[in-house]
């Protein structure tokens, strides 16, 4: 059996504590709870979410850094360390202050390559992001930028591929309108759960791409799988103290394998306070951990 160890922090995600992500001004949805669990979104210090407020470009960049899996902590570095980084790989935007909270996120996003500045060389970090701008970023981080660039470029090509892939599903918008926080959450949620497009290699001087949607010769991969986070459905066969035997009955790509009723596997799950009951079916997110003891996993989220 593989041992799945739940993060201590995941106690806040217990089914019995669904209010952990509750906001005083907004009824929580699966989307916002899911993104909160992945540290992609958060509310304000006063406990509000402000769903209809617009969102700045810096706020979006911070969210997308986490959507790709990890904040490398550049923003928390002393100024001297930031300046050393900037000497090696300069951040090209003069209007992103190296002393500001958002500098590290812009630096990381620029290194990854999913953002672009404006024609005048600025980033305009405090401007509100538009739907077209956000869709461009989301199409880029999911790997479809080459297709968007070849079918009209910005903004039409990106809007088309956002629709084609399902990234813009469920959101009505005008391209130049300012994105609301609730729509930003939905668009990012869609993107995180969209099959990514990866470079397979080069042939005759041209790059070859493949959509990782589980068809043909591809496996299922989203931004989650690229971070070694897997979504799985299973049945609790037994519960003993903090542990449960969890039989995975459905997963498109749990730990690099697909599972169904005919191809299931039982794993030992440390519940860490989650109310998992014998005989009940649950859908969970679990994260592979790098440990000295071999293959271990952490529960990231339990779906309602």
- pLDDT tens per residue, range 93-105: 999 999 999 999 9
Amino acid 216: pLDDT? 77
Spans in the chain with pLDDT lower than 70: 1-21, 272, 292-295
Amino acid 134: pLDDT? 97
Amino acid 205: pLDDT? 81
3-state SS, the chain, equals CCEECCCHHHHHHCHHHHHHHCECCECCCHHHHHHHHCCCCCCCCCCCCCCCCECEHHHHHHHHHHHCCCCCCHHHCCHHHHHHHHHHCCCCCCCCCCCCCCHHHHHHHHHHCCCCCCCCCCCCCCCECEHHHHHHHHHHHCCCHHHHHHCCCCCHHHHHHHHHHCCCCCCCCCCCCECEHHHHHHHHHHHHCCCCEEEEEEECCEEEEEECECCCCCCECCHHHHCCEEEEEEEEEEEECCEEEEEEEEEEEECCEEEECCECEEEEEECCCCCCCCCCEEEEEEEEEEECCEEEEEEEEECC
Q: Where are the domains of the chain?
A: 129-176, 223-302
The CATH class of 223-302 is mainly beta
Q: Give the pLDDT confidence of 198-229 residue by residue, as tens digits.
A: 998 888 888 899 999 998 788 999 999 999 89
pTM score of the predicted model: 0.89
């Amino acid at each position: 059996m593989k041992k799945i160890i739940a993060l201590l922090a995941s106690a806040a995600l217990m089914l019995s504590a669904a209010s952990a992500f509750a906001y005083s001004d907004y009824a929580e949805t699966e989307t916002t709870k899911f993104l909160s669990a992945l540290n992609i979104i958060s509310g304000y210090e006063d406990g509000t979410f402000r769903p209809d407020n617009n969102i700045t470009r810096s706020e979006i960049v911070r969210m997308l850094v986490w959507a790709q899996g990890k904040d490398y902590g550049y923003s928390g570095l002393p100024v001297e360390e930031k300046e050393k980084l900037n000497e090696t790989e300069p951040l090209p935007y003069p209007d992103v202050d190296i002393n500001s909270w958002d500098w590290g996120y812009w630096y990381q996003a620029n290194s990854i390559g999913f953002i672009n500045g404006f024609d005048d060389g600025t980033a305009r970090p405090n401007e509100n992001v538009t739907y077209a701008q956000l869709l461009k970023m989301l199409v880029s981080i999911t790997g479809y930028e080459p297709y968007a660039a070849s079918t009209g470029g910005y903004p039409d090509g990106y809007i088309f591929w956002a629709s084609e892939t399902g990234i813009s599903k469920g959101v009505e918008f005008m391209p130049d309108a300012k994105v609301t926080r609730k729509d930003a959450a939905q668009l990012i949620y869609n993107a995180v759960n969209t099959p990514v497009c990866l470079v397979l290699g080069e042939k005759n001087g041209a790059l070859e791409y493949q959509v990782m949607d589980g068809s043909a010769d591809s496996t299922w991969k989203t931004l989650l799988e690229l971070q070694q986070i897997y979504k799985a459905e299973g049945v609790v066969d037994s519960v003993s103290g903090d542990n449960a035997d969890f039989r995975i009955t459905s997963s498109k790509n749990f730990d690099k394998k697909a599972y169904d009723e005919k191809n299931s596997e039982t794993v030992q799950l440390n519940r860490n306070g989650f109310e998992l009951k014998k005989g009940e079916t649950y859908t969970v997110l679990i994260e592979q951990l790098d440990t000295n003891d071999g293959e271990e996993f952490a529960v990231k989220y339990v779906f309602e």
